[in-house]
Chain A
Amino acid sequence: MTEAERTLIAGCLRGDKDAWDTFVRQFSSLVYSTIYKTLALHHAVQRDQGVVEDLFQEFFVAMFTSDCRKLRQFRGDRGCTMASWLRVVAARLTVDYLRRQRPGDVEVTEAIAADQPDPPSALITLEEERLLAKAMQSLSDRDRLVIELTYRRSLGAEEIAALLKTSVGAVYTQKSRVLDKLREILGKTLSL
């Protein structure tokens, strides 16, 4: 935590009006943009523009109420700035809102309904899915994370490398190794 951040937080915790106004002014753009972009990624902004402002207010209410309980949680001793912490808080608040709006597993159900394979293919697919799920459990956590980010979250190798703080080459190598393993499990078990 920088000295300026420490002083600002201390002022807010004391109930200093100037400090609180400075805190809002300094971070409002970051908070608003985080909420907006998170909603936009899920196509939620077009449906209701007002929700951005509602979540923005909800964020600052969470920071302020109960004697600034949320703001007091920031320790600033793990090498992240207050701005990056606030960004995660805003993102989490927005994702929680989106979860409340959407029932779980709707997308998967729709995908299966749209596919409509003929019965013999459906049987193979269900068996493959079962085996794949089992195979995924046998992977290391890191391997499982790379597969999740690649295939279910649609991140490119560059993004994954940046997120996991590794090289693009290492991501490709890891992905290739895991796919070979999954191919082997699926191919070996279902071969005739």
Chain B
Amino acid sequence: MIERDEDHIGRLLRRMPRREPGKQLRSACPDEEVLAAYLSGGLGETGNAELENHLAACAYCLDDLLAAYRARQSKDREEVPANAVARAMALLAKPKLTSEIFSLVVGLARESLELISTTGRLVTPSLAAEIRGKGKAAGDGMLRIEKDLGELQVALEVERLEGNLCQVAVNATPRGGPATDLLRLSLCSGGREQASFLARQGSATFDRVAPGEYQLVVAAAGSALGAIALTIKEAGHE
């Protein structure tokens, strides 16, 4: 009987060719957050088992996991060259201050909306509802404000829904030109982004918006072009 000691088996194992994962396995590779959660102990028993099953077959993911693990274990931090940091920061060019496009303050009054103040241009109610193509005459429950921002015409529609909720629709269209899908329209409140959409035909709709203070930011290619300051006041406001 031929004796096989651990060193010999170890040598044989090291000589085994590395199994590169095929396309099918690669398509099942977990994203970085799964690997990070595994290292942090956040996946749970089932998640751990699923990932370990994948790691047993995928040399690429095991490479990535071990690289992150070893980097984490080493406490040394290399000094980052100042020019490298500056280059990374410069990816986002310093913009002009996010200017206010216009402000709109509305109040919820019984079943309707009340315009309290605006620095934009109030569109007559019957012309409203264009943004969302509703095709019905707007009543007391809807307001539309417009203003030009350079080459863009920016419009905001606020419609009262049931309870204290509103639907807010934003449209930003080049004047005299076709609508663009390259804009990002974001609803922010208290410094936090509540919702964000890439514009479809220059429009985005935010549903079930509660009373509060908001900024609707219009951005192109990662740079904010301007913001609409929207305040929705509850019924019985002063």
- Residues of A at the B interface (CB closer than 8 Å) are 6-7, 10-11, 13-17, 20-21, 24-25, 28-30, 32-34, 36-38, 41, 53, 56-57, 60-61, 64, 67-68, 73-75, 78-81, 84-85, 87-92, 94-95, 99, 104-105, 108, 111-112, 125, 128-129, 132-133, 136, 141-142, 144-145, 147-148, 150-153, 155, 159, 163-165, 179, 182-183, 186-187, 190-192
In the complex, the chain A residue whose C-beta lies closest to that of B224 is A15
Separation of A20 and B86 alpha carbons in the complex (Å):
12
Judge whether A14 and B193 touch: CB under 8 Å: yes
| A29 CB contact (under 8 Å) in B63, B78, B98 | B78
Given the interface contacts A53-B84, A141-B56, does A88 sit within 8 Å of B78 by beta carbon?
no
> Would you list 11 pairs from A and B whose C-beta atoms are within 8 A, ordered by A residue?
A20-B91, A28-B84, A34-B71, A56-B84, A79-B41, A87-B71, A91-B71, A105-B18, A129-B12, A129-B16, A144-B56
Shortest beta-carbon contacts, A-B, top 4: A79-B42, A91-B67, A10-B193, A78-B37
Q: CB of B134 within 8 A of chain A?
A: no
Complex formed: what's the CA distance from A82 to B57 in Å? 27
B221 contacts across to A, CB distance below 8 A: 67
Within 8 A of A (CB), among B19-38: 20, 31-37
Q: Are A28 and B85 CB-contacts (below 8 A) given A87-B68, A95-B64, A148-B56? A: yes
Chain A proximity of B236: nearest CB distance (Å): 31
> Secondary structure at chain A's binding surface: helix, strand, loop or mixed?
helix
Which chain B residues numbered 148 to 192 have a C-beta less than 8 Å away from chain A?
184, 186, 188, 191-192
A156 to B52, CA, bound (A): 18
Mark each residue of chain B from 184 to 211: 1 if its CB lies under 8 Å from any CB of chain A, else 0.
Answer: 1010100111001010000000000000
- Size of the chain B interface, CB-CB below 8 angstroms: 78
Identify the stretch in B3-11, B101-109, B115-123 within 8 Å (CB) of chain A at 4 or more residues: B3-11
A28's contact among B4, B80, B223, by CB below 8 Å, is which?
B80
Is the beta-carbon distance between B84 and A32 smaller than 8 angstroms? yes
Q: A88-B32, A151-B10 are in contact. Are A15 and B16 (CB under 8 A)?
A: no
B64 contacts A13, CB within 8 Å?
Answer: no
The answer to whether B66 has its CB under 8 Å from any CB of chain A is yes
**Alpha-carbon distance between A181 and B35 when the two chains are bound, in angstroms:** 30
Pair A36/B219 contact, Cβ less than 8 Å: no
Kindly identify, within residues 67 to 93 of chain B, every residue whose CB is under 8 Å from any CB belonging to chain A.
67-74, 76-78, 80-81, 84-85, 87-89, 91-93
Which one of B184, B192, B222 contacts A64 once the chains associate, using CB atoms below 8 Å? B222
Interface residue B235 (Cβ < 8 Å from any Cβ of A):
no
Given A28-B80, A78-B34, A141-B57, CB of A88 within 8 Å of CB of B192 = no
Knowing A20-B89, A78-B34, say if A142 contacts B2 (CB, 8 Å): no
Closest to B57 in A: A141
Provide the residues of chain B in CB contact with A128, threshold 8 Å.
12
Instruction: Determine whether B124 belongs to the interface, using a CB cutoff of 8 Å to chain A.
Output: no
Inter-chain CA distance A20–B93, complex, in Å, is 10
B52 touches A142 (CB 8 A): yes
B219-A15 in contact (CB<8A): yes
- Cross-chain contact B222 with A85 (CB below 8 angstroms): no
| B237 is an interface residue with CB less than 8 A from chain A | no
Query: What is the distance, in angstroms, from A143's C-beta to the closest C-beta of chain B?
Result: 8
In the complex, which residues of chain B have a beta carbon less than 8 angstroms from the beta carbon of A129? 12, 15-16
> Does B14 lie at the interface of the complex (its beta carbon under 8 Å from any beta carbon of A)?
yes
In whole angstroms, how far apart are the Cα atoms of A56 and B87 in the complex? 10
| CB-CB under 8 A for A78 and B16, given A61-B91, A85-B32, A88-B64 | no
- How far does the Cβ of A60 sit from chain B's closest Cβ, in whole Å? 4
CB nearest to A54 among chain B residues: B84
Shortest distance from the beta carbon of B208 to any chain A beta carbon, whole Å: 20
